[in-house]
Chains A and B, each alone.
Chain A
């Protein structure tokens, strides 16, 4: 059929002639038959795929790693006489609109001249600045070159030779509000100005900060735990009143007793509360006795109480190692602290915690059941039409969209099962749901169902890969079926089961759509863990890295400002999932090698 063998030239001569000339010159394969262009198209497709992966990962890597790096603080004079002080977030060359240049009036000519010299483009830099005033909101502003104040005698200033980097330009990160940029001027200790020059002020600051941090820790401890504990006790008393009323009637002795206990509890807690409040206030006053003195770019003096300061650094003074230290410190904060400032600063610890705990519970649910199901299908069930049908169904379940599992989870776990549990075990809390709403447990159960096929399929494959000769050998030695499975089959299948588990975990950790229906929250007030018996906080809604990306990068009204932070979150999530996947692949390849050896 190939054109090389049946070309018209070969078909044309009559058979007799062909026989007459048996030694025909061997025909060469035509260049066209190598299909080089077609091969290049297939190769191009592969290259596109590779570029997509590499490009996307590179993008996330660069943007995600850059967010926390302490950028230098630049001070520039603008042509209109104002002065800007801020961090350079980005720089680019762009093609200005004609109207933009037109609006400059007379100066437009020099700008046009400069543009002509640079191929029609200008440089602009994105500066992160403070809004005027001390409340310290940040905003980003593109500053094109034509806005810069020119040198005396010149009519145009380029970014390359504008801007200074004052040594004592300070970037102060605060618990509330954004970063504050200013020139360090002095330090106030106990209401007295204690250092005149920046050098001294910085030393004072460094020596005072640890103590203030410790005080703040104590205050937070009081505010969160001590106050929370009292509130919990009161709530428990209130619930016991309700429970007694439900069980024995509103006028019963038990209810009256519980009401008395509640009254006593209230009185006791009020006194305790007062003491705690007083202590909190005292600490608060002590925290704010010392302050940093800064000068804002518009000349106003700013006084920042140390109680508000998370971290301050002077990036222009720092060498590589100094910056690296700040960078590392920020990463530590990122993975260990709670978010600040509408998810534009601080950390994502609650989301990491939520993701990890959810994945953990999910694995605890999915692995035993998945392995049981696979064992049943492979070792115990009678192989036949029904079992292959079940096997196909389980396989197919892996392809069912995750949102469908979310729908099922919401309807079945939250509304049916959860409401049932509430009615049976927590009637005193109704109509407030305990389990009858989305929460960590139900989210884990939903994802367990979602990843069940992954575990079943992987385990089945691993079980099937155990040679039947080993089973037969075991039986021949007199072992029972269970002994064979436990001693021979399972140990050999274990790496395969592990692979399935890791793959399931990787799938579960990256899944967001079903979680949106069964209990993930943009901002959960508490971590989904407590020592309350029997629910251990698993009924609470929780935060999740993936959902954080959706909420902060997409739904938040201030998405523009939180995008750098979302990139870092993205990097973290991808890193977790890639590590999980790579380890699954490693385990699989090691397993395969072992089998080949055996």
Chain B
């Protein structure tokens, strides 16, 4: 490439190092730049990736079956699995309990649950599989605790065990000790053994045979319920005291008799269920009748409700299981229907049985066996065609289903979940079948997250957020609607306060301030943006909230006193000679505004208590809380702004032309006096309109304002949040709006003024319309900030997730909820993923708002450029 250029000199080669640097920079910057941008995309992708499993359906694996040696022919009425899923016990009618190894199927323990040679006549096991209730033909009842006990072998014993087992065996049944010995991942040797501990038997009712029995672990200890052959029903507890002097244990049965009346044919109920608090007793007959008794606070039992719990066409119940907590029953009928029932307090205060959910049915074939999980609101059902279904009851959601393998008789089978809920077991006495189960996140479906859900004990479907509870049978309530509502409420109230201030202040700054004052004012307001939100939240919680509570009447009065004193000030200012007003339109006027503002503070402090005494019977907070006194005072205050607007319209459009004509001939000073008069008349008219509306709505329609926009007062409330959030959103909206207003080309302004318009007319009819899209995008951005604000909301609201527009109470927003709950949520749990979903919703809201604002701003820029 050696050639000479037209200047005659040889072309110099670019140095190698320069070329290398060029290449390297190109590659590095591209990689770094693209990588950084990808990192931004990663946020979006990662959030989606965490959320996605929430909506993945569950799955039931294929059945694996194992035939049992030395099988017992009778049908198991209940099965239980050990926590390590190594052993299974099955309890058969007649009181025989077998423990078998799951891998090999061999018999490890074989227990006969007789008492003095008598086989039990009634049996039941809790859904948690930790408590067994036994009733005997001689009228005695007894409970027994069931558990699998772990024991780690000592070094010497473990060594012996390792020597004796076969080379590749890691789990060895040791029939001699009735358990299973396993070497764990960490190299320890663990023996797991089923242990059944029988409690003292009691005889609550003489010697009539027990036909039904149930027991539960209530907070007060183990409680039993029993029904005898001669129709005596009772709830009882064994009180045990230790007598120190005689060194004996005193056993005293404590029995609450239940007024039981046999049904027509005298047949005893097929099922009897006592809830986990020991306060409610359910009886169910095979022909579909369901009865519920309750124990009142005075320890007397009474019948709460009785009804036929069958859909039309169905004749009898085929299976029943209580859910965890035993306050909800799942009933299956012969038409394949499956429903859940619980007791709830109706509007009249009476407790009634309520059909909560109609769960996915068996489609014609009846469920023959049901089983509930000990850890969550899941049930599994087996129908007569051999289909197994796993159902989440709160959401009435079919998680998974699948057929059993051949060789198992559905009519003879029972089911049980493994403790980890990742496996499901079936057994019919001759065979065990195992299903792999992947639940996914059954509590969270789109409808349970955003629509009202009927939770246990609730009288009607409701939106509720209560993600964690103390006990095992807690039902997580993951309704995100109250949180979304709280976010909305925070946004609305803070914009209601902040947006007008920011926009009006921007208009004043761009149109009426000049020079140094303007730049000073701007930088002071922009300083507001740098206040950390944690500081704002702290001040809101420790100073502002208590202050507002103490001086609520004055704060309410301030809302009226502020505009009032500004209007008065302006009208008085107009009384000055015209030349003065024009000459003093700079800092002098702003000084006047400031002093009018400062004067409104003592005005509010003075008029607040008067207002309180006059309108609210001397105490606003008790007026708000108790509903003492009529509601029209509240309506009047609420309608005042509306009255003001109506008056402005009245004076502007209807009287305007006449007024202008009338004013035309007057001197400016006269006009100013008339304007003042007009203001006073206008105020009176506005108050009158508001009063009329208040009387119409409050007395005419009889609607109380308390419970709408106002209501009982909490110290940390939307009013305080709205004010403090103003600190966060005002500077943002102000800066952007001011930019938009200042970038309106100056020739427009000059043309308008030159055509004879006043500065105000120019501002309202030329500048603001031109800058409208810029102002709109400023609002959008402010909205985005208010939606996501965390610390202020976290510290200045009570954090209760309720749906209520009341200005005077708190709320819980998505962001505050994430901040409080995410650190405690277990990774990858449903709760964790739902909180990620909340984050994603926030992300989407703000992203959409900002994009909208950006598009609008681009258009505005183009338009301003064209002008």
Q: Which residues of A contact B (CB under 8 A)?
A: 1-5, 7-9, 27-54, 56-57, 59-60, 250, 368-370, 372-377, 379-381, 390, 392-397, 399-408, 410-412, 415-416, 449, 452, 456, 480-483, 485-486, 506, 509-513, 516-517, 546-547, 549-550, 553-554, 559, 563, 566, 570, 573-574, 577-578, 580-581, 585
Contact of B32 among A1, A29, A369, A566 (CB under 8 A): A369
Contact A372–B33 (Cβ < 8 Å): yes
Q: Which of B230-238, B318-326, B434-442, B568-576 contacts A (4 or more CB under 8 A)?
A: B568-576
Contact A36–B656 (Cβ < 8 Å): no
- The docked-state distance in angstroms from the alpha carbon of A376 to that of B525 is 34
Contact B30–A395 (Cβ < 8 Å): no
Contact B528–A370 (Cβ < 8 Å): no
- The docked-state distance in angstroms from the alpha carbon of A375 to that of B781 is 26
Residues of chain A within 8 A of B34, CB atoms compared: 376
Contact of B39 among A374, A410, A449, A553 (CB under 8 A): A449
Residues of chain A within 8 A of B108, CB atoms compared: none
Contact of B795 among A4, A29, A554 (CB under 8 A): A554
Contact B847–A31 (Cβ < 8 Å): no
Q: Which of B220-228, B375-383, B664-672 contacts A (4 or more CB under 8 A)?
A: B664-672
With A36-B581, A577-B532 known to touch, is A373 a contact of B36 (CB < 8 Å)?
yes
Residues of chain B within 8 A of A482, CB atoms compared: 18, 21-22, 25-26
Least CB distance, A158 to chain B, in whole angstroms: 25
Tally A-B pairs: CB < 8 A.
Answer: 358
Interface residues of B in 480-517 (CB under 8 A from A): 500-505, 507-509, 511-512
Least CB distance, B184 to chain A, in whole angstroms: 13
Contact B14–A480 (Cβ < 8 Å): yes
Contact A44–B25 (Cβ < 8 Å): no
Residues of chain A within 8 A of B566, CB atoms compared: 37, 40-41, 43-44
- The docked-state distance in angstroms from the alpha carbon of A516 to that of B533 is 14
Contact A401–B842 (Cβ < 8 Å): yes
20 cross-chain CB contacts under 8 A: A1-B765, A4-B756, A32-B671, A42-B512, A44-B504, A46-B508, A46-B525, A46-B590, A47-B593, A56-B531, A60-B539, A373-B32, A376-B33, A411-B46, A510-B535, A511-B532, A513-B791, A513-B819, A553-B538, A553-B541
Contact A56–B758 (Cβ < 8 Å): no
Q: In this complex, what residue of A is CB-closest to B50?
A: A411
Residues of chain A within 8 A of B822, CB atoms compared: 406-407, 410, 517
- The docked-state distance in angstroms from the alpha carbon of A44 to that of B851 is 32
Residues of chain A within 8 A of B26, CB atoms compared: 380, 481-482
Contact of A403 among B502, B765, B827, B842 (CB under 8 A): B842
Contact B563–A41 (Cβ < 8 Å): yes
Contact B504–A404 (Cβ < 8 Å): no
Contact A30–B663 (Cβ < 8 Å): yes
Contact B46–A412 (Cβ < 8 Å): yes
Residues of chain B within 8 A of A400, CB atoms compared: 788, 842-843, 846-847, 850
Residues of chain B within 8 A of A9, CB atoms compared: 661, 664
Q: In this complex, what residue of A is CB-closest to B593?
A: A43
**A-B pairs with lowest CB-CB distance, top 10:** A401-B788, A376-B33, A35-B760, A510-B532, A372-B32, A45-B504, A40-B570, A46-B505, A513-B790, A407-B839
Flag B408-438 by CB within 8 Å of A: 1 or 0 each: 0000000000000000000000000000000
Q: Which of B134-142, B464-472, B726-734 contacts A (4 or more CB under 8 A)?
A: B726-734
Interface residues of B in 552-589 (CB under 8 A from A): 562-563, 566-567, 569-571, 573-574, 578, 581, 589
Contact B788–A403 (Cβ < 8 Å): yes
Residues of chain A within 8 A of B454, CB atoms compared: none
Contact A574–B850 (Cβ < 8 Å): no
Least CB distance, B733 to chain A, in whole angstroms: 10
Q: In this complex, what residue of B is CB-closest to A415?
A: B827
Q: In this complex, what residue of A is CB-closest to B508?
A: A42
Q: Is B183 an interface residue (CB 8 A)?
A: no
Least CB distance, B549 to chain A, in whole angstroms: 16
With A3-B660, A45-B500, A48-B501 known to touch, is A29 a contact of B512 (CB < 8 Å)?
no
Contact A49–B18 (Cβ < 8 Å): no
Contact B36–A452 (Cβ < 8 Å): yes
Residues of chain B within 8 A of A375, CB atoms compared: 29, 33
With A37-B567, A452-B40, A517-B823 known to touch, is A46 a contact of B504 (CB < 8 Å)?
yes
Residues of chain A within 8 A of B509, CB atoms compared: 46
Least CB distance, B92 to chain A, in whole angstroms: 42
Residues of chain A within 8 A of B532, CB atoms compared: 509-512, 546, 573-574, 577
- The docked-state distance in angstroms from the alpha carbon of A381 to that of B794 is 42
Which of A35, A375, A513: most chain B CB closer than 10 A?
Answer: A513
Residues of chain B within 8 A of A480, CB atoms compared: 14, 18-19, 21-22
Residues of chain A within 8 A of B535, CB atoms compared: 60, 510, 546, 549, 570, 573-574
Interface residues of B in 769-811 (CB under 8 A from A): 781, 784-785, 787-791, 794-795
Residues of chain B within 8 A of A570, CB atoms compared: 535, 538
Contact A35–B764 (Cβ < 8 Å): yes
Contact B815–A34 (Cβ < 8 Å): no
Least CB distance, B771 to chain A, in whole angstroms: 14
Least CB distance, B252 to chain A, in whole angstroms: 43
Contact of B530 among A52, A59, A577 (CB under 8 A): A577
- The docked-state distance in angstroms from the alpha carbon of A60 to that of B525 is 17
- The docked-state distance in angstroms from the alpha carbon of A376 to that of B26 is 9
Which of A9, A39, A370, A517: most chain B CB closer than 10 A?
Answer: A39
Contact of B541 among A8, A50, A547, A554 (CB under 8 A): A554
Contact A42–B758 (Cβ < 8 Å): no
Contact B758–A553 (Cβ < 8 Å): no
- The docked-state distance in angstroms from the alpha carbon of A516 to that of B818 is 10
Q: Is B542 an interface residue (CB 8 A)?
A: yes
- The docked-state distance in angstroms from the alpha carbon of A65 to that of B534 is 19
Contact A31–B505 (Cβ < 8 Å): no
Residues of chain B within 8 A of A399, CB atoms compared: 781, 784-785, 846-847, 849-850
Q: In this complex, what residue of B is CB-closest to A405?
A: B43
- The docked-state distance in angstroms from the alpha carbon of A229 to that of B617 is 70
Least CB distance, B136 to chain A, in whole angstroms: 48
Residues of chain B within 8 A of A412, CB atoms compared: 42, 46
Q: In this complex, what residue of B is CB-closest to A554?
A: B795
Flag B735-756 by CB within 8 Å of A: 1 or 0 each: 0000000000000000000001
Q: Is B639 an interface residue (CB 8 A)?
A: no
Least CB distance, A25 to chain B, in whole angstroms: 10
Contact A401–B538 (Cβ < 8 Å): no
Flag B628-649 by CB within 8 Å of A: 1 or 0 each: 0000000000000000000000
Least CB distance, A474 to chain B, in whole angstroms: 13
With A33-B758, A40-B596 known to touch, is A516 a contact of B530 (CB < 8 Å)?
no
7 extra A-B contacts, CB within 8 A, seeds A369-B36, A372-B32, A407-B836: A43-B508, A368-B32, A380-B26, A412-B42, A509-B532, A547-B534, A577-B532
- The docked-state distance in angstroms from the alpha carbon of A483 to that of B588 is 55
Residues of chain B within 8 A of A4, CB atoms compared: 756-757
Least CB distance, B462 to chain A, in whole angstroms: 26
Residues of chain B within 8 A of A51, CB atoms compared: 597
Contact B730–A49 (Cβ < 8 Å): yes
- The docked-state distance in angstroms from the alpha carbon of A35 to that of B507 is 13
Residues of chain A within 8 A of B765, CB atoms compared: 1-2
Contact A47–B730 (Cβ < 8 Å): no
Residues of chain A within 8 A of B534, CB atoms compared: 510, 512, 546-547, 549-550
Q: Is B351 an interface residue (CB 8 A)?
A: no
Interface residues of B in 838-858 (CB under 8 A from A): 839-840, 842-843, 846-847, 849-851, 854
- The docked-state distance in angstroms from the alpha carbon of A524 to that of B22 is 47
Contact of B790 among A392, A402, A581 (CB under 8 A): A402
Contact B761–A35 (Cβ < 8 Å): yes
Q: Is B527 an interface residue (CB 8 A)?
A: yes
Least CB distance, A53 to chain B, in whole angstroms: 5
- The docked-state distance in angstroms from the alpha carbon of A547 to that of B570 is 45
Contact A581–B656 (Cβ < 8 Å): no
With A30-B660, A396-B851, A482-B21 known to touch, is A513 a contact of B815 (CB < 8 Å)?
yes
Q: In this complex, what residue of B is CB-closest to A547?
A: B534
